[in-house]
Structure 1
């Protein structure tokens, strides 16, 4: 059985919208403030995670963003992202040209449940805010890996929106990446039966 792991970069106030400034959001591009040693240390953490990942799960917009940047990029990290199986929750099957991509069709909740049963190891969800919200609402997230940038953006879509019920979590690790990024890992605590 797989472990569904959400991995995302976010601001201190939880914003995940437009980290690279591609969406024309007035406060977009906030991830670009991560430079020098912090950016190198971040890349090492992310590349190591990719090596340990059994599969990647994404929504369609995140898939398109990642594919446009990684399917042609050289290097070991990019090679690993090409090789790892990728699963996309989408109703559109056009333009899915990144190697090893499978569409999860039908009900996304049921499709992710099947995927979790079939994959051994970490199934990492990159970005995909709407998908993360759905997975949280259906108790399908096992772990949160949050890389927090030292920026309060003050506006924008946040990772955690309104949920169907409280989602209890337990901090399992906290460390620094470089000199300015916090890497927080939380286990999602499954609700206890009544």
Structure 2
């Protein structure tokens, strides 16, 4: 059985909007302000995560962003992302560059992702995909959250947790890891009733 692992870069105040500044958000681009050893260590962690994944689950816009940057990129990390099965939640055909091993997930998201968890053995990693993640969280389909926090307080912007419903969702901190001198990786799992 598969597990849904949400892996996200997020500011200290929870903003996930426009990390690279491509969307035109006035406070976007916060991801691009780090480099050197911190970026190298972050990249090593992300590559290890991709090597351990069984599949990727992406929203349409995130898929288009990743495919445009990774489909033709050289290197081991890009090769691994190319070879992974990619399930893309989209209501229509995908635009942009083709990326290998892509299946469009249509229909009701909760049912389709629940079925996907039954079919895939291993970690199904979700990058970005704010609206998809909000839906998965609201329906208790996320098995693990990996939040890499960037030391910025933006004070505005879209956050993951703004639209997941009013119910309290207790989480258990599994690990915390410093990444270089500026980043921290926090891993949480939901506390579910036995």
TM-score range for the pair, normalised by the shorter chain length: over 0.9
Deviation at 1:153, TM superposition (A): 1.0
- Name the residue aligned to 1:176: 178
Task: Give the distance between the partners of 1:102 and 1:22, measured in 2 at CA.
Answer: 26
In 2, the alpha carbon distance for the partners of 1:68 and 1:134 equals 25
* 1:29-48 mapped onto 2 (5 Å cutoff): 29-48=29-48
Partner of 2:154: 153
What's the secondary structure of 1:91's corresponding residue? coil
Structure-2 residue corresponding to 1:118:
119
Taking the aligned partners of 2:149 and 2:49, their CA distance within structure 1 comes to: 16
- TM-score, normalised to structure 1, is 0.96
2:135 alignment partner in structure 1: 134
Q: Partners in 2 of 1:93 and 1:119 — Cα distance?
A: 23
Displacement after TM superposition at 1:117 (Å): 0.5
Once the two structures are TM-superposed, the CA of residue 71 in structure 1 deviates from its matched residue by: 0.3
Secondary structure at 2:125's aligned position in 1? strand
The CA deviation string for residues 121-179 of structure 1, in whole angstroms up to 9 with x for no partner, is 00000011110110011110000000000111111001211322111110000010111
- Please say if residues 60 and 94 of structure 2, whose CA atoms lie closer than 8 Å, have aligned partners that are also in contact: no
Query: Scaled by the length of structure 2, what TM-score is found?
Result: 0.96
Describe the superposition over 1:88-122 as per-residue Cα deviations: whole angstroms up to 9, x where unpaired.
00101133611000011111110000000010000
CA distance in 2, matches of 1:68, 1:76: 17
RMSD: 1.1
**Aligned residue number for residue 56 of structure 2:** 56
Work out the CA distance in 2 between the residues paired with 1:2 and 1:94.
25
Mapped partners of 1:22, 1:86: distance in 2:
23
1:75 aligns with 2:50: no
